[in-house]
Amino acid sequence: MTEPINVVVTGAAGQIAYSLLYQIAAGTVFGPQQSINLRLLDIPPMMKVLDGVVMELEDLALPLLREVLPTAEPAKAFENVAAAFLVGAMPRKEGMERKDLLAANVEIFKVQGEALDKYARKDVRVLVVGNPANTNALICSHYAPSIPKENFTAMTRLDQNRAQAALAARLNVQVDKVKNVIIWGNHSSTQYPDAAHATVELSSGVKTVPSEINDNEWLNNTFVETIQKRGAAVIAARKMSSAMSAAKAAGDHMRDWWFGTKPGEWVSMGVVSDGSYGIPKDIVFSFPVTIKDKRYEIVQNLPINNVAKSKLDITSKELEEERAEANNVLKK
């Protein structure tokens, strides 16, 4: 067993955290040898619920889990943390405009950014799950200037997992046989799920997904729209947003960031743009990345056709608009 690391989960009394906490405590995220001190942050009215979550964590009887601290105080939650899952955010309510949602979230992620800056390890890995995740990650980074910008990421792994599963179903193969599907852009309905560079492992060898599906109409329209609208479809069916699948994706994202990607494979992460693929700098944009030694690099020089370029332009424009709205709030 290694020395415990401190891991914070915000919105810890919520649905996504409920599935995520087990993964972290059981060793599926940080490995079967890494002991964990959990810091559970939520708002004061949720402390009673958190007490129940703590009881359940105790009752799991997991050897890797050393300490559990439920708290409503960011200073305690972010103390010396090595990894942060920022799940808690203001949900969009009926009649709420996007600028209203951003205004509410600016305040939340300002407080958490400042707490990370003041109390967390400087090499902390921060994953923003709470929506609008890309712009929330940008805000959080803004308020934590002593932590490198590349240490703040937004989750598009749920979209990647959805896309991978949809392609595997279409090809009638196990989901792990499909590799290198990409989610470009925002975790919103403007995202661009891209199968152009994806591969599938068949008994006859590794093939390209587009050649095996052989249906550009399906790939460019039905597939893209299905993934873009999948979250809404889950809400329509379940009357609640994705929780189990979102928690699994958060664990996948952090595990790959911690341990790295396999040779020849990449994953999608929302990261601060460096201008790759002509994307405006300093927005948090989902790119394909490879990871080694806890550092990611954007995959370069993938051919992008005109259709894909137009999709990237749409989603980057939305992110620029969100950034502008967030900056307006910050100036008030």
Phi and psi based region of residue 123 (left: phi greater than 0; alpha: psi -120 to 50; beta: remaining): alpha
Let me know whether 77 and 178 are in one domain: no
Let me know whether 162 and 128 are in one domain: no
Helix or strand run (H / E) with residue 8? strand 5-10
Let me know whether 55 and 100 are in one domain: yes
Say if residue 268's pLDDT is above 90: yes
Residue in 271, 244, 228 with CA at minimum distance from that of residue 127:
271
- Greatest extent of the chain over all pairs of C-alpha atoms, in Å: 61
CB atoms within 10 A of CB 213: 18
Last residue in a domain, options 136, 154, 172 = 154
CA distance 129 to 251: 11
Beta bridge partners of 81: 6
Let me know whether 274 and 161 are in one domain: yes
| 301 annotated as belonging to a binding site for a ligand | no
CA distance 261 to 265: 6
What domain count does the chain have? 2
Mean pLDDT value of segment 90-109: 78
Distances (CA, A) of 110 to 36, 74, 114: 26, 11, 6
**Which residue in 142, 187, 197, 253 is the catalytic one?**
187
Distances (CA, A) of 280 to 209, 240, 252, 274, 290: 29, 34, 27, 8, 21
Let me know whether 205 and 298 are in one domain: yes
Per-residue confidence band for 262, with pLDDT thresholds at 50, 70 and 90: very high
Say if residue 96's pLDDT is above 80: no
Q: Are residues 155 and 145 in contact, defined by beta-carbon separation less than 8 angstroms? A: no
What pLDDT digit, counting tens, does each position of 45-89 carry?
999 999 999 999 999 999 999 999 999 999 999 999 999 999 998
SS3 178: strand
Establish if 330 belongs to a structural domain: no
Mean pLDDT value of segment 4-11: 98
| 105 annotated as belonging to a binding site for a ligand | yes
Let me know whether 139 and 268 are in one domain: no
| 92 annotated as belonging to a binding site for a ligand | yes
| 98 annotated as belonging to a binding site for a ligand | yes
Q: Are residues 128 and 154 in contact, defined by beta-carbon separation less than 8 angstroms? A: yes
Let me know whether 78 and 123 are in one domain: yes
SS3 44: helix
Which pTM value belongs to this model? 0.96
Distances (CA, A) of 13 to 9, 38, 53, 77, 88: 9, 13, 7, 14, 9
Q: Are residues 129 and 85 in contact, defined by beta-carbon separation less than 8 angstroms? A: yes
Say if residue 94's pLDDT is above 70: no
Say if residue 311's pLDDT is above 90: yes
SS3 94: coil
Say if residue 125's pLDDT is above 70: yes
CA distance 307 to 219: 12
| 136 annotated as belonging to a binding site for a ligand | no
Find all residues with CB under 8 Å of 12, minimum gap 6, and list them: 21, 40, 41, 42, 46, 50, 53, 70, 87, 88
Cα pseudo-dihedral 250, 49, 188, 237, rounded to 10: 100
Establish if 40 belongs to a structural domain: yes
String of DSSP letters for 112-157: HHHHHHHHS-TT-EEEE-SSSHHHHHHHHHHT-TTS-GGGEEE--H
Establish if 328 belongs to a structural domain: no
Let me know whether 60 and 148 are in one domain: yes
Let me know whether 72 and 187 are in one domain: no
CA distance 332 to 316: 25
Residue 4, Cβ density class (10 Å: 0-12 exposed, 13-18 middle, ≥19 buried): middle
Last residue in a domain, options 97, 124, 154 = 154
Structural domain for 316, as ranges: 156-323
On average, the pLDDT of the chain sits at: 95
Q: Are residues 250 and 153 in contact, defined by beta-carbon separation less than 8 angstroms? A: no
Domain CATH for 284: 3.90.110.10
Say if residue 91's pLDDT is above 80: no
Q: Is 187 a catalytic residue?
A: yes
Establish if 164 belongs to a structural domain: yes
Establish if 332 belongs to a structural domain: no
Helix or strand run (H / E) with residue 247? helix 244-259
| 129 annotated as belonging to a binding site for a ligand | yes
Domain CATH for 117: 3.40.50.720
Establish if 237 belongs to a structural domain: yes
* Per-residue pLDDT, 321: 94
Let me know whether 169 and 21 are in one domain: no
CA distance 274 to 286: 12
